[in-house]
Amino acid sequence: MGTKSADGTAATDEARDATEAVAEDAEAGDVEGADAAPGTGAVVAQPGGIGQGAAAVVAAALGLIGLSGGWIGTVASARESLIGQLRTSQSASVARQVQEVYGDSWRTTALVAGAFAVAALVTAAAVLLRPAFGDPARVQAPWIKSVAWAGAALGVIGLALAAAKYTDLILGLPSTS
């Protein structure tokens, strides 16, 4: 840190020197992700990557929803439970009542969670495969890849859990006999 002189220019000179050094590095091509504006020496960030970053975050969010089933899964489950109650009469067997009221709603929740998990996988795959079809000189930011891989992993886990729920592999309906 420079000391402040009587006229207050020492700090300003250091800031100007740092800005000029960054501009010189950008002109020489030493700064990743920045270009020097022609004739000005000012550093301008390269456009792009915003859509890929947003898609990676969306993939991770869809993966999380795929794990829980989300609000839509809860609403679909409640609707299926109500339909099951309306379809069965009180004279129906206990096994049929349990299947209609609880089993179908459980499977509906699994289907919705699976749909979100598949959406997470597709979105993450699109983000991860995008550089293969774009400008080879443009490098994808590492955080975008990391978040997209997280979305893909959450999608795989969510899809596996949804399949296990749907097939009664985990938390199946209780026996009514």
Distance CA(122)–CA(169), nearest Å, equals 25
Better pLDDT: 129 or 42:
129
Which of 57-71, 72-86, 160-174 ranks highest by mean pLDDT? Answer: 57-71
Confidence of residue 154 (pLDDT cuts 50, 70, 90): very high
pLDDT greater at residue 124 or residue 31 = 124
- Say if CB 53 and CB 145 are below 8 A apart: no
What pLDDT band is residue 7 in, cutting at 50, 70 and 90?
Answer: low
Range with the poorest average pLDDT among 44-48, 102-106, 161-165: 44-48
What DSSP element (H or E) covers 172?
A: none
Instruction: Tell me the pTM.
Output: 0.66
Compute the distance between CA of residue 40 and CA of residue 22 in angstroms, rounded to an integer.
13
- Select from 130, 152, 150 the least CA-distant residue to 48: 130
> Which percentage of the chain shows pLDDT scores above 70?
72
Question: What's the pLDDT score for residue 124?
Answer: 95
Average pLDDT over residues 40-63: 75
Q: What is the mean pLDDT of residues 151-175?
A: 87
Q: What is the mean pLDDT of residues 16-27?
A: 52
Could you tell me how far CA 29 lies from the centroid of its own chain? 33
Residues 6+ apart with CB under 8 A from 19: none
What pLDDT, on the 0 to 100 scale, is given for residue 22?
47
Mean of pLDDT over the chain: 76
Residue type present at position 151: G
Which range has the worst mean pLDDT, 15-24, 75-84, 87-96, 144-153?
A: 15-24
Averaged pLDDT for residues 111-129: 93
In the numeric block, the tokens 């550093």 are attached to 43
Decide if 59 contacts 52 (C-beta within 8 A). Answer: no
pLDDT score for 34: 46
Q: According to the model, what pLDDT value does residue 21 have?
A: 52
Mean pLDDT along residues 52-77: 89
